[in-house]
Amino acid sequence: MQEDTPIDEAAITLLKQLVRNGCVNDLTADSGGEAKSADTLEQFFSGTDVQVRRFEPHPNRVSIAFTIEGTDPEAEPLTLLGHTDVVPVDLPKWTRDPFAAEEEAGRIYGRGATDMLYITAAMAAATRDVARSGDRPKGTLTFVGCADEEARGGLGAGWLASHAGDAFSWKNCLSEEGGSHLPVADGSDALVVVVGEKGAAQRRLTIHGDAGHGSTPYGRELTVDLIAEVARRVCAIEPPVTSDELWEGYVRAFRFDEDTQRALIDGSSYSALGDLARYSHAMSHLTIAPTVMHAGGAINVLPSTAHIELDIRPLPGQTQESIDEMLRDALGDLAERVTIEHLITEDATVSPTEGPLYEAIVETFDEFFPGVPVVPTIAAGGSDLRFARRKGGVGYGFALHERQRTLGGVLDLLHSHDEYVEVADVRLTTLAYRSLIRRFLGV
């Protein structure tokens, strides 16, 4: 790329190449291949005076960090955590090549365009612009292209936090997602910033019944019947709505009438939120989703063991112990017969709605959308920011979208068929990152 390329144009060109690299993470160690995008990013930064570090905990699973050292060791640092892996595609359901990065009618199509390659490209372009400026920031600036985010970071940010925790600062971190708009009832505007995310409480529930030949089931305790009853009882669990300032502040931001607002805060109805109903329910409840059920193998054998796997997402403050207790209560007289096994377990994390980085985000939003209120939210899914929070830092989801891009619309694009990002949002996010860096680091 030419040195005089505007940073938003540079971000668009980089985004297209990252999409074309096709770093598909199918949750196995040998997938991903993020080395391709690490090479792309290293080439993108060529000719700049940045410190480059590559990390490869497994062949071709490469994370890469670009650091510009600050002039003041006491100044606040800033770390931008992008990820370069993407989820698989169901190719027959796409109407275009998911790895061609086609641009059409103001949109760039491709797997990962929204999740989160456009933000990763914006981070890289803004960081390179600082490097090319010739001025050093007061605090140290680092951009990291992380591998393996889609598999919860075991070969990416999670590995870095555990094995290379001093490679860069985790004190102030930005990542996905944020900067979309709420459809406020009175037609006014509100901008979203992500301050936390739910945790993980994955469980496998196993039960045993009678084995035998499939031709003679009479009088036997059928394991499939038992696991179906386990599933029914689990699906009947109705966790209570949370009562915290984040949830209530989110509801109030919509400016509904008093009755609608109360119904939302109480969790008795989500219909007023339209396409945000599912997300809003997840933001305000512990959620339990049965996702895997298994029993047997041969069609002529009555299985003696069956299990169901649950994707459980707790809110901040909800413990693994309380979740097991809730499951046992729901199972009732079957509880003694069911083995509850913990799979991936992680507590929810949240950062404060105050402090230097949060204030810089609010001020940056105000620069682009003057006077628009900022609404902190909790993400229903996970991101690499939880590793920063666990190491004592703060982490916020930050991007910026045009006025017509609502939170529900952006969420619907994540992992979708024919995924795309608006070119205007790539430009806006890139400029917003550059502005925030200038505001926070003085360069």
- 108-125 pLDDT tens trace: 999 999 999 999 999 999
- Report which of 441, 442, 395, 399 is spatially closest to residue 422, judged by C-alpha positions: 399
When pLDDT is averaged across residues 303-328 and rounded to a whole number, the result is: 97
* C-alpha angle 241-178-263 in degrees, rounded to nearest 5: 25
Separation between Cα atoms, residue 287 and residue 340, nearest integer Å:
17
- From the list 128, 110, 118, 256, the residue with the least C-alpha distance to 178 is 118
pLDDT above 60 for 381: yes
Please give the full DSSP string across 20-88, using - where no structure is assigned: HH--B--SSTT---THHHHHHHHHHTTTS--EEEEEEEETTEEEEEEEE--S-TTSPPEEEEEE--B--
| Tokens representing residue 393 in the block | 């830092």
For the chain, give every domain's residue range.
7-185+354-441, 199-346
Q: Is the pLDDT of residue 1 over 50?
A: no
| CA-CA-CA-CA torsion sign (310, 315, 319, 323) | negative
Residue 264 Cα to chain centre, angstroms: 24
Is a pLDDT exceeding 60 seen at residue 215?
yes
Question: Which CATH number is correct for 7-185+354-441, 3.40.50.1000, 3.40.920.10, 3.40.630.10, 3.30.499.10?
Answer: 3.40.630.10
The answer, yes or no, to whether residue 241 has pLDDT greater than 70, is yes
Query: For the chain, how far is it from start to end, CA to CA, in angstroms?
Result: 22
Residue given tokens 């409840």 in the structure block? 285
Residue linked to tokens 């641009």: 103
Residues near 363 by beta carbon (within 8 Å), at least 6 away in sequence: 439
Buried/exposed code over 20-41 (b: 16+ C-beta within 10 A; e: otherwise): ebbbbbeeeeebbbbbbbbebb
Closest to 390 in 3D by CA, of 343, 346, 360, 358: 346
Rounded to whole angstroms, the Cα distance separating 100 from 201 reads: 37
Which CATH class, in words, describes the domain spanning 199-346? alpha beta
Are the CB atoms for 353 and 361 separated by under 8 Å? no
Instruction: Kindly state the average pLDDT of the residues 395-404.
Output: 98
User: Is 274:407 a contact under the CB 8 Å cutoff?
Assistant: no
- CB-based contacts of 256, cutoff 8 Å, min separation 6: 185, 264, 272
Average pLDDT, the chain: 96
Give the model confidence (pLDDT) of 152-185 as tens digits: 999 999 999 999 999 999 999 999 989 999 999 9
Instruction: Specify the pLDDT at position 236.
Output: 97
* In the predicted structure, residue 297 carries a pLDDT above the cut 60: yes
Q: Does residue 80 have a pLDDT over 50?
A: yes
Predicted confidence band at 3 (pLDDT cuts at 50, 70, 90)?
A: low
State the pTM of this model: 0.94
Fold equal for 7-185+354-441 and 199-346: no
User: Average pLDDT, stretch 337-360?
Assistant: 97
Per-residue pLDDT tens over the stretch 20-55 = 999 999 999 999 999 999 999 999 999 999 999 999
Average pLDDT value for residue range 404-416: 93
Q: How many CB atoms lie within 10 A of CB 219?
A: 7
